[in-house]
Every structure is written in C-alpha cells, then in structure tokens.
Amino acid sequence: MVMAEHPDCALVRRGYELFNKGDMETLATMMTRDCAHHVPGSNPLSGHHKGIDNVMALYRRMGEMTQGNMRGELEGLFADGRGHVMSVHRNVAERDGRGYNQRGGIFFTIVGGKISDLDECVEDIDLEDEFWS
C-alpha cells in the first residue's frame, strides 16, 4: 500500500527541488518573513541567518561560492505531524577545485504551511569549515 506524503514533507521536498534549480524567488515564497537558518561550524557561512532577506542572501552566497554547482541530494524526510520535519541529505559541491560531498540534515519548523526555521547539522564540522573557508 502506497501512503500519501505528509504535506510538511511535501513542502520541504519542494524546497530542496527549488534550491537545486536555483529558483530562490519561488523558494522565498515558501518561507515566513521572519524565518531563520542556523548554519553550524566556524566558517564564513556559519551563524544564525534571521529574516527572509538574510536567508536568501545565504543561499545566494553559497551559489556564488560554488559557481552554482551546490546540490542538496535528498535521502529522506520524516514528519512528526506537529509542524516539524527532519531531512537527511548529501550536499555535493565544488569550489576552487576542491570537491565537497558530505551527509547532513536539517530540522525544519513549519508554521501556517510555510518554513519558519531551519536548524542544520552536518556529519563532519571540520570538513564543513575547511570547504567553506
């Protein structure tokens, strides 16, 4: 029996598709104005990016730093039915001749059918810092 995907998971899945296509304009419409993306590590992208303009600036910067080749390859989504989704993905990119391939995940909070918070975790923080520094 095939079960329908939870609407919160469908929202996050669509967000990954838009990010990978570079469609930041549509992606921004799926987020609250006061959304926040929390990036781990100690590198130029690390920190708490608060507000839709700052989150979109983060994504544009990732695109610029990787010349648009960064991809989040979604491996799985898990919903709790109370406005939270966990994603597991593999980030793949190249920057300045260096490859990047690492698993990670994001804990999403969904409010009113929009993404309001993204709390990111990575498998190897040192690798994350090395790639983005």
**Model pLDDT for residues 85-131, shown as the tens digit of each residue:** 999 999 999 999 999 999 999 999 999 999 999 999 999 999 999 99
Res. 3 pLDDT band, cuts 50 70 90? confident
**pLDDT at residue number 114:** 98
Cα–Cα distance, 45 to 43 (Å, whole number): 5
**pLDDT at residue number 56:** 97
**pLDDT at residue number 38:** 98
Q: What is the pLDDT of residues 29-57, one digit of tens each?
A: 999 999 999 999 999 999 999 999 999 99
Q: 84-95 and 98-111: which strand pairing?
A: antiparallel
Instruction: Output b/e per residue, 62-85; b: 16+ Cβ within 10 A.
Output: bbebbeeebbbebeebebeeeeeb
Q: Is residue 2 predicted with pLDDT exceeding 90?
A: no
Q: Is residue 78 predicted with pLDDT exceeding 80?
A: yes
CB 103 within 8 A of CB 89: yes
**pLDDT at residue number 1:** 59
Class for the domain spanning 7-132: alpha beta
Cα–Cα distance, 60 to 42 (Å, whole number): 19
Q: Is residue 4 predicted with pLDDT exceeding 90?
A: no
Q: Exposed, middle or buried by CB within 10 Å (0-12, 13-18, 19+), for 108?
A: buried
